[in-house]
Amino acid sequence: MTDPLPGFEQPAAPPRVDSVFSGRVVRVQPDITGVQRQFDYVVPAAWEDDGRAAKIAVGSLVRVDFHGRRTAGWITDVDVTPDPSLELRALAKWSSVGPPQELIALGDWAAWRWAGRLPHFLRAASPQRMVEEVAPRVEPPIADANPAMDAVFSPGVTHVRTTPNDSGLAVAIEAAVRGSALILVPTLHQRTEFSRALRNQGFDVAGYPEQWARSASGVLTVGTRLGAWAPVPEPASIVVIDEHDRAYKEERTPAWNARDVAIERARRGGVPCVLTSPSPSLEGLETADRRLSPERSVERESWPVVDVVDLRTADRPGLLTDAIVSLVRDSTTVACILNRKGRSRMLACGNCDALATCDACGVAVHQPDDTTLECVSCGTTRPVVCSACGATKFKLIRPGIGRVAEDLRALAKRDVIEVTAETDAADMSGEGLFIGTEALLRRLPNADAVVFLDFDQELAVPRSRAAEDAFSMLALAARRVGPRSQGGRVVIQTRKPDDIVVQAALHGDPKRVAESQRDVRRVFGQPPYGAWAVVSGAGSATFIERLRAVDESASLRLAQLGDRWRIAAESHTELLEIINAVDRPAERLRIDVDPIDL
């Protein structure tokens, strides 16, 4: 073995016995998160005799003896030339076929890009169960491509802005027609729906990660976030459906994004990458080589009727206005959305009811003390004075689903189903009046109307991406109710009826949101016009101290946000070259590159 690692006791190495080994040397990445280095092992001579040596390849899963214990690992290189002064140990076991060489290299890039460790990404690219062998590559049936879709599948990255009622399935089918493709969708429900629809079109489909071996043989593959690491050999194209969806972002560390992995994978393979979304992210738009969108009249008509209720002048106090009561009594299936989690810092003027937002960037402010309002996004502070009327008293808005559900039941004179994580899917399959958080929109297949009881909970949430997130929620609601020609209706109750997000939905024009957010983010150097990382955890203070020592020229901009630190730079290269050069403390540490909740 090579030099011992800190914290590991180097066991006595057995004497080298050349006759025991074939002489073939491979390099192995141990499946130990804290171990970044790779180590050389020899292939036992006995493996040449019994055929196991023939299975050795880059990506193979093996077991090795590592510092007194046996652990899993991946072969990352074969037929290497080791340091002749080292006494190498033999591979203990060949376990399974593993990720192909291009995914090993992609994992190296991802470990750099999200300040993580290679084993995390190799696990994502590996089979859940051991695979003895992969069937010969499956050549997809030859079919005629649709010439009208040639622009969509041009080389590079193409962003396709879809209408809300367009699921993106047509793009997925065309990708399948053009060759063995990799299709990513945000949710398991969408994976099931897309797989069924593609099979109905006559395509053989592998679901990732359960059908890893079939994917590795070249079968058209559909997956969620992990699908970005599916072992499809030389895919003809990669498609990311609803690229804006937060589900593509890994919540655990390293907090990677499947959309960005897909883009890099396609770039390395020289194949088209197609991103679709009815509410595009700025990251997706700025990465694209070309942007396609429907005709303005088609897009506008695809949106449902959008009614805006100004809560400042509503005829009934509270959230259950006359417009809402009338709607829930007359419509068959209604979904009422009220987000209550993670929103307790929202302030409103006690006099005029105007929301307290940042004068500089527009997101919500909080009140850390008696004299200050502070923006949690850009850090701007101002006195505790209402920008609308000059009053100095503010109230904390804390809506609760349970209480609203009780009042709704009494006013609507019908049963109300409060949807939680424990609600049985069978209870949501038919008609009804439902109330829940935004998760309700993902669980309910369709509705006659969707009501946002207090949309200010989304507009004023203290996040730099609040507008994007809020509009994507409206787009999902529009998908559930269908276009205006079919009677679809979305009701938005708000104290900010002139907000760009509300107006964009009212006119069925997603471009308004992107254009407004582009200007704000450029001014403040927010992603994608700069690079951010958030550091948290018990080891964050130590890490920041070490980072300052490494960043001798003070090129990074640091800001402490409570128990977290925000690190900003002009580019990912500048940010990550320094972050990846800092020694990690022993205490728990989370590094979130490109945070979506800041």
Contact 593, 576 (CB under 8 A): yes
Q: How crowded is residue 396: how many other Cβ atoms within 10 Å of its Cβ? A: 11
Report the chain's mean pLDDT, rounded to a whole number. Answer: 91
Dist CA 92 CA 39 (whole Å):
14
Long-range contact set of residues 416-421: C-beta below 8 Å, sequence gap at least 24:
419/443, 419/444
CATH number of 301-344+398-519: 3.40.50.300
Contact 67, 8 (CB under 8 A): yes
Q: Which residues pair with 65 in a beta bridge?
A: 70
| pLDDT surpassing 90 at residue 130 | yes
Place of tokens 């429900």: 189
Task: Specify whether the backbone of 252 is left (phi greater than 0), alpha (psi in -120 to 50) or beta.
Answer: beta
Nearest to 262 by CA among 245, 436, 40: 245
Contact 244, 187 (CB under 8 A): no
Q: Which amino acid is at 467?
A: A
pLDDT tier for residue 341 given thresholds of 50, 70 and 90? very low
Pick the range with the lowest mean pLDDT from 12-21, 42-51, 178-187, 197-206.
12-21
Dist CA 222 CA 245 (whole Å):
16
Dist CA 415 CA 407 (whole Å):
11
Nearest to 229 by CA among 355, 79, 103, 108: 103
Dist CA 345 CA 565 (whole Å):
20
Dist CA 64 CA 90 (whole Å):
8
Dist CA 434 CA 441 (whole Å):
10
The set of residues, in sequence order, having a beta carbon less than 8 Å from that of 268 and lying 6+ positions away, is 102, 105, 106
Task: Specify whether the backbone of 59 is left (phi greater than 0), alpha (psi in -120 to 50) or beta.
Answer: left
Q: How crowded is residue 292: how many other Cβ atoms within 10 Å of its Cβ? A: 15
With H, G, I as helix, E, B as strand and everything else as coil, classify residue 415.
Answer: coil
- pTM for this model (two decimals): 0.87
Dist CA 598 CA 588 (whole Å):
20
Contact 525, 509 (CB under 8 A): no
pLDDT recorded at residue 293: 97
The set of residues, in sequence order, having a beta carbon less than 8 Å from that of 435 and lying 6+ positions away, is 335, 336, 337, 338, 401, 404, 405, 408, 416, 417, 418, 419
| pLDDT surpassing 80 at residue 56 | yes
Q: What is the pLDDT of residues 474-524, one digit of tens each?
A: 999 999 999 999 999 999 999 999 999 999 999 999 999 999 999 999 999
Dist CA 491 CA 338 (whole Å):
12
Tokens standing for 97? 């076929």
- Percent of the residues in the chain that have a pLDDT greater than 90, as a whole number: 71
Q: How crowded is residue 348: how many other Cβ atoms within 10 Å of its Cβ? A: 20
Cα 523 to Cα 163, 287, 468, 517: the distances in Å are 30, 19, 17, 10
Q: Which amino acid is at 325?
A: V
* Domain boundaries for CATH 3.40.50.300 within the chain: 147-294, 301-344+398-519
* Average pLDDT for 146-174: 97
- Percent of the residues in the chain that have a pLDDT greater than 70, as a whole number: 94
Q: Which amino acid is at 318?
A: G
* Average pLDDT for 385-397: 86
Q: What is the pLDDT of residues 514-569, one digit of tens each?
A: 999 999 999 999 999 999 999 999 999 999 999 999 999 899 999 999 999 999 99
Tokens standing for 319? 């959230």
Dist CA 161 CA 166 (whole Å):
10
pLDDT recorded at residue 347: 82
Tokens standing for 253? 């560390």
What is the DSSP pairing of strand 220-223 with strand 205-208?
Answer: parallel
| pLDDT surpassing 80 at residue 377 | no
Q: Please report the DSSP string for 59-100 in residue order.
A: T-EEEEEETTEEEEEEEEEES----TTS-PEEP-EEEE----
Q: What is the pLDDT of residues 2-53, one digit of tens each?
A: 443 333 333 334 334 343 444 799 999 999 978 889 999 999 999 988 999 9
First CA to last CA across the chain, in angstroms?
Answer: 44
Dist CA 491 CA 497 (whole Å):
12
| pLDDT surpassing 50 at residue 455 | yes
Cα dihedral value 522, 525, 529, 532, nearest 10: -150
Q: Which residue has the higher pLDDT, 5 or 334?
A: 334
CATH number of 147-294: 3.40.50.300
With H, G, I as helix, E, B as strand and everything else as coil, classify residue 1.
Answer: coil
Helix H segments across 180-219? 188-200, 212-216
Question: Which CATH architecture is the domain 531-593 placed in?
Answer: 2-Layer Sandwich (3.30)
pLDDT recorded at residue 398: 60
Dist CA 159 CA 172 (whole Å):
14
Q: Please report the DSSP string for 502-542 in residue order.
A: HHHHHTT-THHHHHHHHHHHHHHT-TTSSEEEEEESTTHHH
Beta strands in 321-463 (DSSP E): 333-337, 347-349, 365-369, 372-375, 381-383, 394-396, 416-418, 432-436, 449-452
| pLDDT surpassing 60 at residue 62 | yes
For residue 294, is the peptide bond before it cis, meaning its omega torsion is within 30 degrees of 0?
Answer: no
Residue 535 phi, psi dihedral angles, 5° rounding: -110, 130
* Average pLDDT for 205-223: 98
pLDDT recorded at residue 2: 41
Q: What is the pLDDT of residues 457-467, one digit of tens each?
A: 899 887 889 99
Helix H segments across 313-400? 322-330
Dist CA 118 CA 110 (whole Å):
8
| pLDDT surpassing 70 at residue 429 | no
Dist CA 73 CA 87 (whole Å):
19
pLDDT recorded at residue 351: 86
Query: Would you say the C-alpha torsion 516, 346, 589, 27 has a positive or negative sign?
Result: negative
With H, G, I as helix, E, B as strand and everything else as coil, classify residue 297.
Answer: helix
